[in-house]
């Protein structure tokens, strides 16, 4: 439907980052890049405390009200009660021994985000792997959903290849995890070995793959039906990008580097 001026309706892209600065800042940077396209209107969907965190990084590109050219909107939804103090909604502000509550909060956000997305009916969704269930919402709305990865291709290739030999890794569970090394199969040279103690939780304890953990892992490794958006670029890790793009479907979009302080206001801390 055309506007009163006769210009085409902008593509509404809703972006849903996880509750961690390392996810929020790259997503905000990507939103700025999308906003530079005249026919795209990006909206970051997050909780109130996290919205406060990313507003400075958006600078003049931020809009809280009616949208304008080259602006990024922010929509908020309530942070679910998971036993954290009021206002503690980010991995950087939660105590380290309470960090698991942030993953729990992502799962408990499903109802609020379901209502928000169905109410606004965006044209596309870009969401972090912790919000794996947005694929179903996107399918219901007949729109694309892309899985966002704030880190590069290399860790994804390593994780995917280790996941394929997880049964062998589980067989070493009674050995000293600091002395037992696992060789990562099917990598470009050089060969890489990792001590079991440094592996992700779901590769050390099979029981932890059950339920939500399994869904997050599946989303991390396989993404959505539409594709992956990855914070990297080919020249940084060419061999791994080339290999990953040949062995995984659907399409991978390399959009990095994101989250680097490229803003005019150098006071913004994107660490």
Q: List domains and CATH numbers for the chain.
A: 1-150+223-271 (3.40.50.2000), 153-222 (no CATH)
Residue ranges in 121-265 assigned as alpha helix (H): 134-141, 153-164, 166-170, 212-222, 238-247
Q: Taking the CA of residue 161 as centre, how many other CA atoms within 13 Å lie in the half-sphere pointing to its CB?
A: 21
What CA–CA distances, in Å, run from 113 to 25, 77, 255, 261? 20, 7, 25, 30
Look at residue 5 in the predicted model and tell me its pLDDT.
Answer: 56
User: What's the start-to-end Cα distance of the chain, in Å?
Assistant: 41
Look at residue 6 in the predicted model and tell me its pLDDT.
Answer: 56
**pLDDT by residue, tens only, the chain of 271 residues:** 444 555 678 999 999 999 999 999 999 999 999 999 999 999 999 999 999 999 988 876 555 544 444 689 999 999 999 999 999 999 999 998 898 899 899 999 999 999 999 999 999 999 998 898 899 999 999 999 999 999 888 888 888 888 888 888 888 878 888 899 999 998 887 889 999 888 877 777 776 555 555 566 665 555 556 888 999 998 998 888 887 777 666 688 999 899 775 544 444 444 4
DSSP collapsed to 3 states, 97-127: HHCHHHHHHHHHCHHHHHHHHHHHCCCEEEE
Let me know: does 210 contact 221? Beta carbons within 8 Å.
no
Residue 220 pairs in a beta bridge with none
Look at residue 66 in the predicted model and tell me its pLDDT.
Answer: 43
Look at residue 214 in the predicted model and tell me its pLDDT.
Answer: 58
The answer, yes or no, to whether the previous bond of 190 is cis (omega within 30 of 0) is: yes
Look at residue 264 in the predicted model and tell me its pLDDT.
Answer: 47
């Amino acid at each position: 439907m055309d506007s009163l001026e006769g210009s085409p309706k902008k593509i509404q892209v809703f972006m849903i980052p996880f509750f961690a600065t390392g996810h929020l800042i790259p997503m905000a940077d990507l939103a700025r890049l999308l906003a530079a396209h005249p026919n795209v209107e990006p909206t970051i969907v997050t909780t109130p405390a996290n919205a406060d965190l990313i507003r400075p990084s958006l600078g003049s590109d931020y809009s809280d009200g009616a949208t304008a050219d080259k602006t990024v909107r922010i929509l908020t939804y309530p942070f679910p009660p998971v036993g954290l103090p009021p206002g503690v909604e980010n991995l950087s502000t939660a105590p380290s021994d309470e960090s698991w509550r942030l993953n729990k909060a992502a799962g408990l956000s499903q109802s609020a985000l379901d209502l928000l997305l169905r109410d606004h009916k965006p044209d596309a969704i870009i969401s972090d792997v912790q919000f794996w269930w947005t694929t179903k919402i996107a399918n219901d709305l007949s729109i694309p959903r892309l899985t966002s990865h704030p880190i590069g291709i290399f860790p994804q290739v390593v994780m995917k290849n280790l996941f394929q030999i997880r049964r062998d890794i589980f067989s070493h569970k009674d050995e000293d995890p600091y002395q037992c090394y696992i060789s990562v199969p099917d990598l470009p040279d050089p060969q890489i070995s990792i001590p079991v103690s440094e592996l992700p939780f779901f590769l050390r304890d099979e029981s932890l793959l059950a339920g939500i953990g399994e869904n997050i892992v599946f989303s991390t490794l396989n993404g959505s039906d539409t594709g992956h958006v990855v914070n990297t670029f080919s020249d940084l890790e060419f061999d791994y990008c080339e290999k990953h793009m040949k062995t995984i479907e659907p399409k991978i979009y390399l959009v990095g580097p994101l989250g680097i302080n490229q803003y005019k206001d150098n006071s913004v801390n994107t660490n």
